[in-house]
């Protein structure tokens, strides 16, 4: 069996879902630019550098949904996906995913982005199975916090193994491939049989070159 794991942000998507979501809400007047934009940039820089704690990263972006229900946010999410996300998913990204479907592989998106924002991107890409950071919901309302292990760095491996175990499977059962752009996903890439770097950041590029991993560039 073949298992294909795709990161989302800066891998299949040109940009970061969480950062783009914050910018979208700022432009819509939902978030205050003066108080929020600087923190957003700092969090994004910490992620890119691999220095920010996963829980801090995940809860910061979860906080943008605090106090609203999924139904309340749905018009915003729908507009965000259509206006911002779809134009940032290139034909080459779609073709890469579909190539694996043709070969009969099991294709999974694994992303640090929360499930509420990640699932529409996965659907557009034709990916039905998603492992994502989970949002805490109480009484049908987003609390602005995450729950469980954030699906980030070593957490991607932890969450993947738990997901497989729940199906009576283990990673060793598969001829596994993982695609990512980020040094944050080094634990995941090291755990599979075929790691592939897509438009990698500088740190991952160095790792890929030193380890002889393929480096792929997608047309954006």
**pTM metric for this prediction:** 0.94
Structural domains present in the chain: 2-216 (3.40.50.1000)
| pLDDT score, position 159 | 98
| pLDDT score, position 40 | 83
Residues labelled as active-site residues: 7, 9
| pLDDT score, position 37 | 82
Q: What is the pLDDT of residues 151-164, one digit of tens each?
A: 999 999 999 999 99
Residue-by-residue DSSP string for the chain: -EEEEE--BTTTBSS-HHHHHHHHHHHTTSS-HHHHHHHHHHHHHHHHHT-S-HHHHHHHHHGGGTT--HHHHHHHHHHHIIIIIGGGS-HHHHHHHHHHHHTT-EEEEEEEEEHHHHHHHHHHHT--EEEEEEEEEETTEEEEEEESS-SSTHHHHHHHHHHHHTTT--GGGSEEEEEES-GGGHHHHHHSSEEEEES--HHHHHHHHHHT--EE----
| pLDDT score, position 219 | 87
Residues of the chain above pLDDT 90, percent: 85
Mean of pLDDT values over 181-196: 97
Tell me what the pLDDT averaged over the chain comes to.
95
Residues of the chain above pLDDT 70, percent: 100
Q: Quote the CA–CA distance of 142 and 29 in Å, as a whole number.
A: 20
């Amino acid at each position: 069996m073949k298992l294909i794991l795709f990161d989302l942000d800066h891998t299949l998507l040109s940009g970061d879902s969480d950062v783009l979501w914050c910018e979208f809400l700022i432009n819509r007047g939902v978030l205050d630019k003066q108080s929020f934009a600087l923190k957003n940039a700092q969090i994004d820089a910490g992620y890119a550098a691999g220095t920010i704690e996963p829980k801090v990263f995940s809860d910061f972006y979860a906080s943008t949904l605090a106090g609203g229900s999924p139904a309340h946010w749905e018009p915003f999410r729908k507009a965000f996906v259509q206006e911002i996300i779809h134009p940032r998913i290139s034909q080459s990204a779609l073709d890469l995913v579909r190539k694996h479907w043709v070969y009969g592989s099991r294709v999974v998106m694994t992303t640090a982005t929360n499930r509420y924002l990640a699932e529409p991107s996965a659907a557009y890409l034709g990916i039905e199975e998603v492992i994502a950071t989970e949002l805490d919901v109480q009484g049908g309302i987003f609390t602005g916090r995450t729950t469980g292990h954030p699906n980030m760095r070593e957490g991607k491996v932890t969450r993947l193994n738990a997901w497989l175990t729940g199906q009576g499977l283990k990673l060793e059962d598969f001829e596994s491939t993982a695609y990512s752009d980020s040094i944050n996903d080094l634990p995941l890439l090291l755990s599979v049989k075929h790691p592939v770097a897509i438009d990698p950041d500088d740190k991952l590029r160095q790792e890929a070159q030193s380890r002889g991993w393929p480096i792929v560039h997608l047309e954006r």
